[in-house]
A and B are shown apart, each in its own frame.
Chain A
Amino acid sequence: MAQDIFAVPVFFIVFRETIETVIIVSILLAWLKQTLDGPNKDQKAYKALTRQVWLGTGIGLFICLVVAGGLIGAFYTLGSNTWEQHEYYYEGAFALFASIIITIVGAALLRVGKMQEKWRLKLAKALESPVQTKKKGCFKHFAEKYAMFVLPFVTILREGIEAIVFIAGVSFSTPAKAVPLPVVVGLIAGCIVGYILYKGGASTKLQLFLVLSTCLLYLVAAGLFSRAIWYFEEAEWNKAIGGEASEFGTGPGSYDISKSVWHVNCCSPNYNGGGGWGIFNALLGWTNSATYGSVIGYNVYWIVVILGFIAMRYKEVKGHWPLRKAKEAPAVAEYSSSGSSNDLPSDRAKGASVVREELKSS
């Protein structure tokens, strides 16, 4: 009876996608609150950045509703599902992009615990200056200025479209009236988790919160990176078998044996909504069918992150990057994959003074 109005797989899909989104959104909001909100902090920047987060979320949600609506419409009218044909490529690209952004933003967020003031000022500065079109600093500047928009935007776009397509897929085998309730319940449950995260985050000691949330973000990002590779491989596999591997459920044929590192015929994060395994997948990157690519990707991701943080720490302590000579006059900004950490003392001093002036003037 309950199954007639409450499709459990739909609930899990929505819940899991919502959680993935709200983790990002609530951490960002909590971070902004901790960093910028308060009597003697930058209210203006706080409001602007909070607005960016919500704007990113809202616009992302809107676009994904439009796109997914279009896809489903096209599926029902054309009979062929172009999304499904390229689904894994899209998923992989989104996941890769999200992983990279989370990695960069994660490092940036963490540094705030150490140089909170500088970052607050920097953000404020970045917000107020127009986007520069100068060659080198252009992307970085853009990313700084709109990071708070881009991250939730990309996240919700990915999760939202994924959720809607998954639900469309699952609901072929479910009565239509069983869909709305679990969607609503899943959304509410996810938002509650997000709110708790936000509340907890906003009231915990700043550094502890930052460390914990960043750890969570990196776990998610590592999973996303690994999944991005998995998606690309699965797309290739679908092409190789000339059909839909998902038709094989979780059994033989649902994966490419030649690339498999482990496979268990259960516990799939995708099959029939994924259930708890889907949430496990969203948080920690679990898969029931690991490939060489996804396992190596996961490990390489962590090695790069570990090395990146060690290097950043090294630079904090030594003043220059590992394997580089300490510069006599370190005036040139350097870039690295972990990003945002090339603040040289001279810049820093300058920036601080500039912002101090700005603060005075405001």
Chain B
Amino acid sequence: MASSSHRWLSPAALVSSLIASALAKTVNYDFNVGWITANPDGAFEKSVIGINDQWPIPVIEADVGDQVVINLQNNLGNETTGLHFHGLYMKGYNHMDGPSMVTQCDIPPGSSFKYNFTIQQAGTYWYHSHTHGQYPDGLRGPLIIHDPDNPYQDDYDEEIVLSVSDWYHDHMSALIPWFMSRVNPSGAEPIPKAALINETQNFKLKVEPNTTYFVRMVNIGAFAGQYIWFEGHTIQIVEVDGVYTQKAEAEMIYLSAAQRCSFLLTTKNETDANYAFVASMDTTLFDAYPEDLQYNVTGWLTYDEDAGFPEPELVDEFVDFDDMNLIPEDEEELLPEPDREITLNVAMDNLGDGANYAWFNNITYTIPKVPTLYTALSAGDLATNAQVYGTWTNPFVYEKDEVIQIVINNLDPGRHPFHLHGHHFQAIYRSEEEAGEFDPETAEFPDRPMRRDTLVIQPDGNMVVRFKADNPGVWVFHCHIEWHVVSGLMATFIEAPLELQELITIPDDHRAACDAQGISTTGNAAGSEDFLDLSSQNVPADPLPAGFTTRGIIALVFSCVAGILGVCVVAWYGFADAGKLAHPSGAQPTSLAAVKEGAAAQSSPAAHNDDDIQVVSGSGGARA
């Protein structure tokens, strides 16, 4: 696969240096992915995607430096699948990142596929299907990397993993066709039916008194951000998205889809009461407010099973902690001025099929015919030319170790959690709502910016993130509202493609997944070996016609002609002289009007036989 040998680092050297960094062990998982039934909100029994006949699916746990090997068997029967390990750098393992048609082909039903990578970082992550909007059907779970060097390890006694999520009663395979159709012209995202904590409701979290817990909270939902608060307890934020932060006290946090937050929670001395904690879906994201919407879900810090479980108090307003105020624990400084700046304008607009699409800079992501990574690996020196990745994957090619600044202007009146694969970016600026486009003149950047992998932009606001392109690979940047992934709010970053070619060899089982579906593992986005020829690439639907098309003009002309002709015929009839009325039976004309008008008195009364009729008819026509 490697096309040249002048690169500075061999893959083997990189891998061995990583492995050497810790007392590595191998963590093996055999995942049999298949349908099972579940009813987490007690309102509707549904088939969900489970692993090894289990749902919720297992938490993946490992330590920093471990080798994780996951043997996935797709037993879904009717759907392809895949796994993405959200937030992991995957340095040197780009092909294990998981998004379909970006770093691999879908895994077809009946086949197996191995994910095999080294853990390079500690923290709270999660894993989920990154294949055609599938994970809300259940294939989503926390991924926890324990850290022997956790800077807060002396501050807590135990770890707890909590997930929050939203829940649909319909399958994504049923919802997506409606969502992306002409009868949903506003692109209204289907509204979840319920919120869940640890994929269930009324979750009773057993706690010991006078104990400090390191709580890892993950939003594994598809759409809804969640406000989360614990009654009677304050929390100290110590980690977001796998990045340790300086301790920050909070009453309430907001977790968008895909975000994580870890905090220290110290329990009370007494055990005489239990305390509610609530996750409340951000209903401002929703297009409507159905009456049966269960937007709150409650759990309880359970000190004593017999102490009763009080209903949570109502809150007057949501006052959530602003994550932009966090300071990373390592106090990493602001990256230097960027080598490249990318501006992405977010908008929603309709195409000629009537459906509503999501846009970065007038491009709505459309899957390529060859996974983008495979294009990068097979393009040789052309891999640095963005063109080979296709127009509609929205590709940006970065050189190794460039500092990249991404300015995002949200031209849409909705919140969006933007996620970058393979990196923690520095979140260096975020505007308030309605701030419009980013103004570099007035913006001030912090010295030690918060880092994370998923950041929320405000409605009609803007934000700026910065990262170093030090991780060769193909990494997508997208909104983590799964509906917007479906409708195309995604861009592709191709980082140091020539170095990447040296690092990665596609395993046979990954190739086999493509082969089974007739997908090429080489070639450009159009599947062509002529890398600059994109003539057969996948393209989105045609744009809506701006006005009259040929069809419309023809229709309008026809209608005008019909109208004019019709009016002429009416006039012809109206002016045609009834006095010329003739009839074979020989009746006398009785119309006094005709006589009065007197126009044709000389010819009509004689119409007594068929021969005359012809003449009369002719003269009538002539008058029209």
Contact = CB atoms under 8 A, between A and B. Distances in A.
B587 A345 contact: yes
Interface stretch (A109-117, A171-179, A194-202): A109-117
B324 interface: no
Interface in A226-261: 240-242, 248, 252-254, 256-258, 261
Nearest to B551: A261
B459 to A, nearest CB: 19
B555 A248 contact: no
Contacts of B581: 114, 316-317
B591 A211 contact: no
A264 B544 contact: no
A330 interface: yes
Interface size class of A (residues with CB under 8 A): 35 or more
Nearest to A35: B593
Interface string B332-358: 000000000000000001101110100
A317 B617 contact: yes
A77 to B, nearest CB: 20
B562 A302 contact: yes
A118 interface: yes
Interface stretch (A43-51, A154-162, A305-313): A305-313
B576 A313 contact: yes
A303 B562 contact: yes
Given A219-B567, A263-B545, A253 B573 contact: no
Interface stretch (B35-43, B129-137, B177-185, B474-482): B177-185
B412 to A, nearest CB: 15
A299 interface: yes
A325 B551 CA distance: 42
Nearest to A267: B547
Given A306-B565, A318-B613, A253 B186 contact: yes
B46 interface: no
B585 interface: yes
A106 B566 CA distance: 13
A272 interface: no
Contacts of A242: 183
Contact of A306 (B184, B569, B577): B569
B185 A349 contact: no
Contacts of B593: 112-117
Given A252-B350, A302-B565, A352 B555 contact: no
Given A302-B566, A319-B583, A312 B573 contact: yes
Contact of B354 (A112, A118, A256, A310): A256
B582 A317 contact: yes
A202 B422 CA distance: 84
A313 B573 contact: yes
Interface string B561-572: 011011101111
A257 B354 contact: yes
A215 B567 contact: yes
Given A248-B185, A345-B583, A115 B590 contact: yes
B542 to A, nearest CB: 11
Contact of B570 (A110, A290, A345): A110
A248 B184 CA distance: 12
A46 to B, nearest CB: 17
Contacts of B186: 248, 253
A309 B570 contact: yes
Interface in A258-276: 258, 261-265
Contact of A352 (B571, B574, B590, B596): B590
B318 interface: no
Contacts of B578: 111, 113-115, 316
A128 to B, nearest CB: 20
Interface in A112-167: 112-118
Chain A interface mostly = helix
A86 interface: no
B585 A345 contact: yes
A330 B183 CA distance: 56
A318 B585 CA distance: 10
B269 interface: no
Given A215-B567, A253-B186, A348-B587, A299 B573 contact: no
A31 interface: no
A27 to B, nearest CB: 14
Contacts of B182: 256-258
Interface in B575-602: 575-585, 587-588, 590-594, 596-597
A252 B613 contact: no
Nearest to A223: B563
Interface in B519-555: 544-545, 547-549, 551-553, 555
Nearest to B353: A257
B620 interface: yes
Contacts of B569: 305-306, 309-310
Interface string A315-330: 0111100000010001
B556 interface: yes
Nearest to A205: B597
A89 interface: no
B551 A118 contact: no
Given A115-B593, A207-B597, A261 B571 contact: no
A305 B585 contact: no
A211 B575 contact: yes
A352 B587 CA distance: 13
A306 B185 contact: no
From A114, A222, A258, A264, name the one whose CB has the most chain B CB atoms within 10 angstroms. Answer: A114
B555 A262 contact: yes
Contacts of B616: 317
B603 to A, nearest CB: 12
Given A261-B552, A305-B570, A349-B587, 12 more contacts: A114-B577, A114-B581, A114-B591, A115-B594, A257-B353, A258-B182, A262-B548, A263-B552, A265-B547, A295-B559, A318-B584, A345-B583
6 contacts: A114-B594, A116-B593, A295-B558, A302-B565, A306-B565, A317-B582
Interface of B: 182-186, 349-350, 352-354, 356, 544-545, 547-549, 551-553, 555-556, 558-559, 562-563, 565-567, 569-585, 587-588, 590-594, 596-597, 613, 616-617, 620
